[in-house]
Amino acid sequence: MVSPILELTNINKSFGHVHANKNINLKINKGTIHGIIGENGAGKSTLMSIVFGLYQANSGTIKVNGKKINLRSPKDSIINGIGMVHQHFMLVENFTVLENIILGFEGELVFGKNLEKAKKDLKDLCDTYKLNIDLNSTISDLSVGFRQRVEILKSLYRGAEILILDEPTGVLTPQEVDELFKILRSLKEEGKTIVLITHKLIEIMDLTSEVSVMRQGEMVGHTKTENTNKEQLAEMMVGRSVLLRLDKSEVKAGEVLFSVKNLTVKDDLDVTRVKNVNLEIRSGEILGLAGVTGNGQTELLEALSGIRKVESGEIYLEGKKVSDSQNFLDPRELKDKGLAHVPEDRQRMGLVTDFKAYENLIFGYHDQQPFSKSSVLNHRDIISHSKKIMEEYDVRPQSPNLITSNFSGGNQQKIILSRELNENPKVLLVGQPTRGVDIGAIEFIHQRLIDMRDRGAAILLVSVELDEVLSLSDRIVVMFDGKIVGEKENKNVTDRELGLLMAGVV
């Protein structure tokens, strides 16, 4: 019988009225890779932030190696051998790797002897785990994959025996994921314990030996990974059975509805982010745009939807030119011509989160009949329309008067989708449709997008979730460094092939 290295008993944590962790019990055995799976908002990150000392639990006990410990700050947990790699890296971007790692553990007031020792120790650690990091490089020059390695190295240098990783693969290409998993396995070989927080079933099956499932703040099950499967875990996560595979009919692509010729776009800092891009989207097809975050997808989507100025090149809607560097239609005019846009960052661009749901449900259409007449809003019709549409799109709770920020991420997304899809657009531009959305809602949103396509709309799907691009798209283009680096029919294409394109290797 192995003894648990980490043991949580009856942990409770509330943020205001939200009970984020309810009576959580968890045992993690030494030298294992233990997965914690659950949907967004299930309380996984909160729980691990408590273990890391960042949040303090309202009640409950935490034991490390059988000894009860009191965690008032991350310092206490670091002393007890707990390290955490956060989803958003905790790195100072304009510091070097070395500076980031020794921060808080300098061991001397004035840099000198200990700094030299730290350099040597870190080189040894890099060699042991084949991390291949240059200690003198600045964080802002490093790729996301390397920044993550810096985080791992940082934890190891600080003496972590238990390493918690919060959604570590969200921003990585498949190849980077392979590298990460290799590192994690070698850490396990050396006797370290790893806690992997994720919402991706495949990672649990690939990497872990034990798994715990969380749902709505509660721990709903523990099992050995070998005794379970993806379907069973999904059901535990969601609380009902889930369709993991999409049913999709053969593509019946018609004429070209939307096309882009030699498009170049700059960002706010005057850096060229989209370089000479050409695209064609036909009626009745979904074109997937894959790529690692920050390779120009955001600027492309903004230019296509009329939010950002076109530097050079042209955009055509139904064969007619709508934008070039001289003349362009604004988002409202594009909307009138049948182009709808679901922005990537829904809280910033898609919604006014402090407004009520019904206000967000009519935004952009609020000055049209029947919502308003002679510039005066018609509340009765707006509310009845909102109720109808919320029911149709299964927005929960179905209360048009609720402030939008009180809806979950998935339901906020449904509010935007319902607003945009309700007008039956000819062309739909959609960015990150399921970012931060729970599995149940993902299934629903995907089905809606496919319905739209089957009705003859042309859809551009921009997503960093490769699985999503693969399961929805009829054709896939990959963007790297502002350029389209590859185009594939979505038949027999694998995530590895796309991953190589996304990394700019091919």
Residues making contact with another protein (CB under 8 A): 15, 52, 54-55, 73-76, 78, 84, 86, 88, 90-95, 99-100, 102-106, 108-111
CB 116, min distance to another protein, A:
14
DSSP summary character for residue 191: T
Instruction: Render 293-319 in DSSP notation, one character per residue.
Output: TTSSHHHHHHHHTTSS--SEEEEEETT
- Cα–Cα distance for residue pair 504/506, rounded to 1 Å: 6
Distance CA 34, CA 371 (A): 53
- Nearest distance from residue 107's CB to another protein, in Å? 8
Q: 429 pairs with which residues across the strands?
A: 341, 460
Cβ distance to another protein smaller for residue 170 or 331: 170
**Minimum separation from the CB atom of position 84 to another protein (A):** 7
| 285: three-class secondary structure by DSSP | strand
CB closer to another protein, 95 vs 365: 95
Considering beta carbons, is residue 46 or 283 the nearer one to another protein?
Answer: 46
Contact 352, 359 (CB under 8 A): yes
* Count of other CB atoms within 10 angstroms of residue 229: 11
Q: Minimum CB separation from another protein for residue 49, in Å?
A: 9
Q: How far apart are CA 388 and CA 333, in angstroms?
A: 27
Query: C-beta of 425: minimal distance to another protein in Å?
Result: 35
Pick between residue 108 and residue 336 the one whose CB is nearest to another protein: 108
Query: Min. distance of Cβ 99 from another protein in angstroms?
Result: 6
Residue type, 425: P
Q: How far is CA 372 from CA 354, 376, 381, 386, 502, in A?
A: 21, 5, 9, 14, 46
Least distance to another protein from the beta carbon of 372, Å? Answer: 36
Name which of 250 and 354 has its Cβ closer to another protein: 354
Phi, psi for residue 84 in degrees, rounded to 5: -140, 135
8 A C-beta contact, residue 32 and residue 193: yes
Compute the least distance from the CB of residue 307 to another protein, in Å: 23
Nearest distance in Å: CB 76, another protein: 8
Rounded Cα–Cα distance for residues 82 and 193 (Å): 10
CB-wise, 100 or 323, nearer to another protein?
100
Distances (CA, A) of 148 to 85, 133, 362, 442, 500: 8, 11, 41, 27, 19
Q: Which is nearer to another protein, 158 or 215 (CB)?
A: 158
Kindly state the tokens that stand for 503. 């990394």
Our CB check for another protein shows the closer of 52 and 258 to be 52
Residues 6+ apart with CB under 8 A from 110: none
Work out how close the CB of 109 gets to another protein at its nearest, in angstroms, rounded to a whole number: 6
Which residue number, 54 or 251, has a Cβ lying nearer to another protein?
54
Identify which of residues 90 and 470 has a Cβ nearer to another protein in the complex.
90
What is d(CA 31, CA 455) in angstroms, rounded to the nearest whole number? 53
CB-CB contact of 426 with 334 (8 Å): no
Comparison of 91 and 502: residue with beta carbon closer to another protein: 91
67 within 8 A of 76, measured Cβ to Cβ:
no
* Token digits of residue 244: 């993991």
Closest of 244, 245, 226 to residue 234, by C-alpha: 244
Query: Cβ of residue 106: shortest distance to another protein, in angstroms?
Result: 4
Helical ranges in 167-296 per DSSP H? 174-189, 201-207, 230-238
Regarding beta strands 33-38 and 210-215, do their DSSP bridges make them parallel or antiparallel, or are they unpaired? parallel
Please identify, using beta-carbon distances, which residue of 115 and 307 lies nearer to another protein.
Answer: 115
- Please give the C-alpha separations between residue 42 and each of 47, 122, 414, 415, 440, in angstroms, as whole numbers: 10, 36, 19, 21, 13
> Shortest approach of another protein to residue 280 CB, angstroms?
39
